[in-house]
A and B are shown apart, each in its own frame.
Chain A
């Protein structure tokens, strides 16, 4: 069966520090991968999606970036965090080439102080 992992589960970082969140998927190949941010009391905002290794599409301009170095690995990064980057970050995957549900990871709660 397929599983999706995210780490760390929680993170507290000072403003201006770098960020690296990792997401890995097991049990499937060539998945579509997504990074979402969920601000407190709000819905999910799509940040990035990827349809293959090295293929990243950005949905919103920001100081975040994403990379997909391996088929089932998706990384969210920042060189310098802002206070506004605080939130709950969710990674998700879906089946290649199909309009289908997305399967979400457990999320990372990021607090920027």
Chain B
């Protein structure tokens, strides 16, 4: 069974600095999708970034980028130039089987002014 592990329950970063959130997953599959979702205090969950496992190039979305290490089954999220609005819970998620997305327990990120 697939599992997703986020080993950092909480993290903090100073505004304008860079922070990396860790995620590892366990699967025997070769083709799958990985996601980072953000859940701010308003609780509205939104997608931050996605990565297809068959693509070697790491996905990038503005200040957000991932370090996808397929062999190591690692999918970390890097937030550059952190902003106060980045304060949120971040969930790593894995999708292989259609309709079934496995979420990690989340990392709570605090951006300090």
Contacts and interface: CB of A to CB of B under 8 A. Distances in A.
Interface stretch (B11-19, B39-47, B65-73, B78-86): B39-47
B90 to A, nearest CB: 11
A45 B103 CA distance: 7
A88 B47 contact: no
**Is chain A's interface secondary structure helix, strand, loop, or mixed overall?**
strand
Interface stretch (A14-22, A61-69, A71-79, A98-106): A98-106
Contacts of A34: 99
A42 B104 CA distance: 8
Instruction: Please tell me the size bucket of the interface on A.
Output: 20 to 34
Contact of B35 (A57, A92, A101, A106): A101
B43 to A, nearest CB: 5
Contacts of B43: 88, 106-107
B111 interface: no
Nearest to B33: A99
Nearest to B35: A101
A33 to B, nearest CB: 10
A19 to B, nearest CB: 19
A43 B106 CA distance: 6
Q: Interface centre among A34, A43, A57, by most B CB within 10 Å?
A: A43
A81 interface: no
A43 B104 contact: yes
Interface string A8-43: 000000000000000000000000101000000111
B56 to A, nearest CB: 18
Contacts of B45: 90, 92, 104, 107
Given A90-B45, A101-B35, A106-B44, A44 B99 contact: no
